[in-house]
Structure 1
């Protein structure tokens, strides 16, 4: 299988395309064929090797991706072959308040390989099924961004029932002749 690994250059150009063996599964794991991945600012920090984000040479970056289950271990009952899934950015944060123990092994970071590869092995509890109405590309943008939004609003902002949230978009500029000068 093909994978991109961080090289010693620590720059966007510091990724090398390599050939690797498809990983073997343990009984509680699934093998996912990646169909789409998205790039977050955090991923750029990892690839560039910025401060505490600096991964070891050979780390496979990128935290957000979607794929289909192509193989499953014998202890996996909650997923089927061909289920569309996304990897969980923080697989240890399934419920409750965020704490240091739940920040361990974020996907595609300094300590744990990411999804910039053809196949990824996940623990059965480290993926979530993707709704059919989302395209692969759309679903691939949600894992890290969704947790970032949740953390900002619920953990840091303490948003509760009945409160209103105003969200400023950070998207691009829509060109039209009326906007030009």
Structure 2
């Protein structure tokens, strides 16, 4: 089969195509013929890290969907031909998060990912693809969608009448916007692009702020919400946004911290959170159980992921470059 490997010495791209043996499933495992994979910001960080060593030969990407191709003798819940997606954390099936689950993240330093024609995983690490979604659409879900669902809905309790602040128009942001719209929550979107804001409006956003034109977007948010602020904030986790998010959160509100997408730097001033009785919810994706619950919601509300662009298997470097450019609106997908 064909796969992409990360290589320490592969130059700027660090992505090398390889022909490798097709894996065979063990007794409790399933082999999936992957039909699509999608990229996340973390994949850019991993690609950069490949140049520092320790990732030589590792298959990248954590988001993939396809068709069950073979099952182990002890597997009862899956059959050949079932359409499935792989969970981000192979070992986090249900219950609270444990630090020991971290090495089971697909496409990480410790485990191969899904940029390959076939992959073998435990039967417990899979979820059924909603019937209304294609494999290309389903491949966008494991990281970005589950992160938004786990943070905003499962732990954040987002519901009708709440106000969600979404930063940007990447994968997690747009899934958050779609969940808010389906739940009847008001959505605020900030972006540097008026064209992207117009598209966000079509998805249900009601308050639109161009942060280049309005750098004090926290002040604008408080004004637009009559001084109340946002009950829920999808925070990208960097110094460029965090202090303004804290100044934008409503009393008793929740800041869902999902990553470091605006970079590393000075720590924010958290004092206002105490006085407003607000919370920070740290989120790293979610469990198989979270994934399955989210899929039921997607099916109930007929939600389709927003896909920016689809690349072929021979165009993987171009897909990475497009994501790196920041010009995307929604998810970047590789079709296998």
TM-score, with structure 2 as normaliser: 0.47
Instruction: Supply the distance in 2 between the matched residues of 1:174 and 1:136 (Cα, whole angstroms).
Output: 25
**Aligned residue in 2 for 1:108:** 107
Partner in structure 2 of residue 63 of structure 1: 62
Note if contact 1:48-1:54 (Cα within 8 Å) is conserved in structure 2.
no
Instruction: Select the structure that is richer in helix.
Output: 2
Residue 41 of structure 2 is matched in structure 1 by 41
Deviates more, 1:59-68 or 1:129-138: 129-138
What is the correspondence of 1:152-171 to structure 2 with a 5 Å cutoff? 152-153=151-152, 158-159=156-157, 164-168=162-166, 170-171=169-170
Q: Structure 1: where are the runs of 5+ without partners?
A: 177-181
**Counterpart residue number, 1:5:** 5
Is the alpha carbon distance of 1:160 and 1:37 closer, same or farther for their aligned partners in structure 2, counting shifts above 3 Å? closer
Q: CA RMSD in A?
A: 2.8
How far does residue 45 in structure 1 lie from its aligned partner after superposition?
Answer: 1.2
Could you list the runs of 5+ residues in structure 2 that have no partner in the other structure? 171-192, 199-336
Q: Determine if contact 1:54/1:110 at 8 Å carries over to the other structure.
A: no
Q: CA deviation at 1:10?
A: 6.9
Q: Deviations over 1:105-149 (max 9, x none)?
A: 101111100000000001101111101101111110000112321
Aligned in 2, Cα 1:129/1:49: closer, same or farther, shift over 3 Å?
A: same
Structure 1 partner of 2:76: 77
Structure 1 6/64 Cα, relative in aligned 2: closer, same or farther at 3 Å? same
The answer as to 2:148 corresponding to 1:133 is no
For 2:144 and 2:12, the matched residues in 1 are separated by 21
Pair 1:12–1:73, CA change in 2 (3 A): farther
TM-score (norm 1): 0.83
| Structure with larger RCO (C-alpha < 8 A, sep 6+) | 1
Structure showing greater Rg? 2
8 Å contact kept, 2:66–2:83: yes
